[in-house]
Amino acid sequence: MSARGDTVGIVGAGAFGTGLAVALARAGRAVVLYTRTPAVAQEIAATRRCPRLPDVEIPIGVRVIGDVRELAAAARYVIVAVASSDAPARLAELGAAIDGGHLVVHAIGALAGPDDERVSVLIERMTPALRIGVLAGPALPRDLGGGQFASMVVASGFDEVVRETRRLLNLPPVLRVYGSRDVIGVELASALAGAYTVALGLADGIKVGAGPRAVAITRAIAEASRLSEQAGGQIRTMSGLAGLGNLLVRAGDADDPDYQLGLAMARDERVTPARFTEGARAALAGVRLATRRGLRLPLLAGLAAVLAGEASIRDAARLAADTVAEEE
């Protein structure tokens, strides 16, 4: 393979993108990290620290750039790791720089755009990329940056994408990557795991106890599996790394934005759309998707109602419990 084929390009210098870049560079992989924010690029160049992951030193092997065309020239394999709210704009930039020879994998844990689309659909529409995949699972930024064990799953309908992702990103013992062909299931599992992480943060914040918490987790996986199946995904995917594994690791993590948002809601803090995390956005989008498909997802719907200011925590919990009881 050429040097270009052995270089990993990452779009987005957030916590995950930076953590992954650090893990790859420490393993000897060449990494190009793109940020469109000059101040971030300048800070990393000067201090080898990223504002979103300040406790982790960024190795010299990570080259930080501010021109997406330079990333496209340097790397054939590209990971998009930006917020779902930024995805359309960043994909438009990327689409103008890459060609059909690039492999594009996203690590965005939410639906995106005004129509609540899966990000892989956006990539197909907004870029010339022909081979696309999704990367998801319980790989926390601080674990990646700190050299702790993490695992992920890559899903794609193209064997080359799975093969190249595992070749470039599989870094035992730090990172282990598994393959799947269930793109729809993995994308929805990743998004809904974030949504239910908010719900579990809320549950922990009001101290529901271990028993009700276990019930909430099992109901979350059941709800998410129903939505995934209706959308064309595989039921079993929701019980794997992208869904249940993701949820178990994040729901209790002090640094996880979704979990912290749930705790804040339990403290009756005012949560405006400006404070919404990926999980919050995924909850609202998931309910809209479920409604269009005629599905009742009481736990997710209760969370969405609280986020939208349409129900109190107590009322949403009562409604969810009553609906679950009717279904049993």
pLDDT, tens only, 208-253: 999 989 999 999 999 999 999 999 999 999 999 999 999 999 999 9
Q: Which helix (H) or strand (E) holds 45?
A: helix 38-47
Q: How far apart are the first and last CA of the chain?
A: 56
Q: Hey, which residues does 112 pair with through a beta bridge? A: 117
Task: Kindly give the residue spans of alpha helices, DSSP state H, lying in 157-312.
Answer: 159-169, 183-205, 210-231, 246-250, 257-266, 278-292, 298-307
- List, in order, residues 6 or more apart from 55 with CB less than 8 Å away: 142, 145
Is 197's pLDDT higher than 60? yes
- The pLDDT tens digits for 78-133 are 999 999 999 999 999 999 999 999 999 999 999 998 889 999 999 999 999 999 99
pLDDT of res. 2? 45
Do 149 and 174 touch, CB atoms closer than 8 A?
yes
Separation of alpha carbons 161 and 131, rounded Å: 7
- The pLDDT tens digits for 46-55 are 899 998 899 9
Single pTM value for the model: 0.93
Is 1's pLDDT higher than 50? no
CATH 3.40.50.720 segments of the chain: 7-181
Phi/psi of residue 153, each to 5°?
A: -130, 140
The fold adopted by the segment(s) 7-181 is Rossmann fold (3.40.50)
Is 25's pLDDT higher than 70? yes
Do 19 and 144 touch, CB atoms closer than 8 A?
yes
Sign of CA dihedral 237, 243, 246, 249: negative
Residue linked to tokens 């093969």: 163
Give me 15's structure tokens: 């916590």
CATH 1.10.1040.10 segments of the chain: 184-327
Class of 184-327 in CATH:
mainly alpha
